Amino acid sequence: MSDRLAGKHAFITGGNRGIGLSIAQRLKAEGAIVTIASRRGSEIDGMSAVQCDVADEGSIERAFADARQLHGPISLLVNNAGIAESAPLGRTTTEMWNRILATNLTGTFLCSRGVVDEMKRARYGRILNISSIAGLGGAAYIAAYCASKHGVVGLTRALAIELAEFGITTNAICPGYVETEMMAQAMVNIMEKTGATEAQAREHLAQSNPGGRIVTLDEVASTAVDLITGVENGVSVVLPGGTRVS
Ligand SMILES: NC(=O)c1ccc[n+]([C@@H]2O[C@H](COP(=O)([O-])OP(=O)(O)OC[C@H]3O[C@@H](n4cnc5c(N)ncnc54)[C@H](OP(=O)(O)O)[C@@H]3O)[C@@H](O)[C@H]2O)c1
């Protein structure tokens, strides 16, 4: 526990489980007032919840208005909400492409745009985007996800340059597989398609990560706190390992 973020209002998309929830809990432990935003969320551990579909511009606007009414201007934004689906390119439907881009990339853009004026006025802000190692390198069968997460890294770099003069930093975290429901679904896909056991599927995912191991929620949350409490700008942090890519 510390008070490094005392008085700061943090808005975390997809904060009701997985990576988003672990970041929310750590920001709260650092003294932030936390609003978690997701399609199906409710209050957790004393953190307020607002209903928000990041694939819907009107829903985002309503969620920000609700959050501001509860806790005032937003100074920390974590763009974490995301979805993953896999298919070979020939079976990647336009609907699937649009769904993934709308949530992972356009949602990140819309939420960032939605808070930029209040951050500029405050001459302080932190925007943290949860991308993926798929945002820095390619992989088979996830063209839409990979394109969306590369887009998030590009958006991060652009905003870092544009907003630096206002005291706003924009960074990204690029994890390999992390122990969440999203990873559990990836394991199910592997088991169904290849007949692998659960242990084999887990090992396959671990081996595809830098360092050959699964990322813990704690590592992601610690990296988030480091980026939000620090002054680094425009970096994408790869996990495991913590390598900074500018
Ligand atoms: N787990 C991994 O291995 C891994 C690796 C690299 C990057 N990531 C990225 O990390 C982020 C979090 O992933 P996770 O593993 O924690 O996933 P998760 O356990 O599946 O949780 C996803 C979160 O996003 C929310 N969400 C999904 N679509 C949304 C929408 N349209 N509007 C608002 N909220 C939405 C979900 O809440 P509702 O369903 O209630 O809306 C949930 O809170 C994602 O961006 C993901 O791409 C994950």
Determine whether 141 is an active site residue. Answer: no
Residue among 243, 109, 68, 246 at smallest CA distance from 171: 246
Q: What is the pLDDT of residue 48?
A: 96
∠ CA 110-219-55, nearest 5°, is 20
Whole-number pLDDT of residue 41: 76
Which domains does the chain show, CATH number per domain?
9-176+216-245 (3.40.50.720), 178-214 (no CATH)
Task: Indicate which atom in ligand 1 lies nearest the CA of residue 52.
Answer: 33
- Kindly report whether the global pTM for this prediction surpasses the value 0.95: yes
Position 13 confidence tier, pLDDT thresholds 50, 70, 90: very high
Atom from ligand 1 closest to the CA of residue 178: 3
Q: What are phi and psi of 224, to 5 degrees?
A: -60, -45
CA distance readout (Å), 64 to 61, 76, 110, 118: 5, 12, 11, 11
Pocket, ligand 1, Cβ cutoff 6 A:
13-14, 16-20, 38-41, 52-55, 80-84, 103, 130, 132, 175, 177-178, 180-183
Instruction: Kindly report the average pLDDT of the chain as a whole number.
Output: 96
Candidate of 11, 79, 80, 128 to mutate for ligand 1, largest count of ligand atoms within 8 Å of Cβ: 80
Closest CA to 241 of 220, 224, 227: 220
How remote is the CA of residue 193 from the centroid of ligand 1, in Å?
Answer: 23
Please give the residue that has the higher pLDDT: either 78 or 15: 78
Residue 42's pLDDT band, with cuts at 50, 70 and 90, is confident
Report how far ligand 1's centroid is from the alpha carbon of 211 (Å): 23
Model confidence at 2: pLDDT above 90 = no
**Alpha carbon distance 186, 120 (integer Å):** 39
Choose one of 35, 50, 83 to mutate for the ligand 1 pocket test, by most ligand atoms within 8 angstroms of C-beta: 83
pLDDT digits (tens, 9 = 90+) for 87-124: 999 999 999 999 999 999 999 999 999 999 999 999 99
165 C-alpha vs ligand 1 centroid, how far in Å? 31
**Which atom of ligand 1 has the smallest separation from the CA of 215?**
3
Return d(Cα 243, Cα 245) in angstroms, integer.
7
* Assigned token pair, 114: 């939605």
3-state helix, strand and coil shares in percent for the chain, rounded to the nearest 5? 50, 20, 30
In tens, the pLDDT along 118-175 reads 999 999 999 999 999 999 999 999 999 999 999 999 999 999 999 999 999 999 999 9
Contact 47, 15 (CB under 8 A): yes
Q: Do residues 16 and 49 lie in contact, with contact meaning Cβ atoms separated by under 8 Å? A: yes
Please report the DSSP string for 186-216 in residue order.
HHHHHHHHH---HHHHHHHHHHHSGGGSPBP
207-230 pLDDT per residue, tens: 999 999 999 999 999 999 999 999
What atom of ligand 1 comes closest to residue 134's alpha carbon? 6
